[in-house]
Amino acid sequence: MSADIRLIVGLGNPGSEYEQTRHNAGFWFIDEFARHFSTPLASESKYFGITGRMPAPYPDTRLLKPMTFMNKSGQSVAPLANFFKVPPEQVLVVHDELDLPPGVARFKQGGGHGGHNGLKDIIRCFGNNNNFHRLRIGIGHPGHSDRVTGHVLGKPPQSERDAIERIIDESVRAVDLALAKGWVEAKQYLHSVR
């Protein structure tokens, strides 16, 4: 059975100074996913973000890049989800993940925010409902908590960026599989990528 996902959100920070930073891995995913599906993206001020509606066979699925800055992501996600009556269980949030190395991505549903400010705000704006799906794009950990902010807001070296882009390509295929055939096949595919 196909995954019933009606909203795919990629997290990041707006502005050219953040464009190439690790924290924008969710934006990179949405851009690649939209390109793969020939989905035009346009600014939507009422949702405080850049959105797109996927073509057939998934016309009920929307894409969103919040333009609110990371720690206010929920202020973009919640209005769009509410307007189109999309419950948290039908939302997939794509975000950078410190606990996975570059070149690795994993699906997950529910759970805490792990200190990720974008997830934290989305959970808050969903009335503390954390039951949405996540696609965690590995960016690696700098080794010490004092260095996390500089790491996520830093530009990865080319070797890491290449690894992140490769796993984003694989993740696009995996989400396509989820939409077509369901989470089991999508997870088997993505979680076996080496």
pLDDT of 31-75, one tens digit each?
Answer: 999 999 999 999 999 999 999 999 888 888 999 999 999 999 999
Per-residue confidence (pLDDT) for residue 89, from 0 to 100: 94
The dihedral formed by the CA atoms of 159, 164, 165 and 167, expressed in degrees to the nearest 10: 130
Q: Would the pTM of this model clear 0.75, i.e. be above it?
A: yes
Q: Looking at residues 70-88, what average pLDDT do you find?
A: 94
Cα Rg for the chain, rounded, in angstroms? 15
- Distance between CA atoms of 108 and 138, rounded to whole angstroms? 13
What are the domain boundaries of the chain? 7-190
Binding-site residues for tRNA sit at 18, 69, 71, 117
Which among 23, 95, 116, 151 is annotated as catalytic?
A: 23
117-163 per-position pLDDT tens digit: 899 999 999 998 888 999 999 999 988 888 998 999 999 999 999 99
pLDDT at position 173 over 90: yes
pLDDT at position 4 over 60: yes
Per-residue confidence (pLDDT) for residue 59, from 0 to 100: 82
Mean residue pLDDT of the chain comes to 93
Architecture per CATH, domain 7-190, reads as 3-Layer(aba) Sandwich (3.40)
Annotate the chain with three-state secondary structure. CCCCCCEEEECCCCCCCCCCCHHHHHHHHHHHHHHHCCCCCEEEHHHCEEEEECCCCCCCCEEEEECCCHHHCHHHHHHHHHHCCCCHHHEEEEEEECCCCCCCEEEEECCCCCCCHHHHHHHHHCCCCCCCEEEEEECCCCCCHHHHHHHHCCCCCHHHHHHHHHHHHHHHHHHHHHHHHCHHHHHHHHCCCC
Alpha carbon distances (Å) from 27 to 11, 19, 52, 55, 144: 6, 9, 13, 20, 25
Is 151 one of the annotated active-site residues of the chain?
no
Chain centroid to CA 35: 15
Alpha carbon distances (Å) from 4 to 23, 113, 143, 166, 174: 27, 22, 37, 26, 14
Per-residue confidence (pLDDT) for residue 2, from 0 to 100: 65
Per-residue confidence (pLDDT) for residue 131, from 0 to 100: 85
Least confident residue range of 2-11, 29-38, 169-178: 2-11
State what percent of residues in the chain have pLDDT above 70: 99
- Banded pLDDT at 113 (limits 50, 70, 90): confident
Binding-site residues sit at 18, 69, 71, 117
Per-residue confidence (pLDDT) for residue 1, from 0 to 100: 52
Q: State the residue for tokens 């973000």.
A: 49
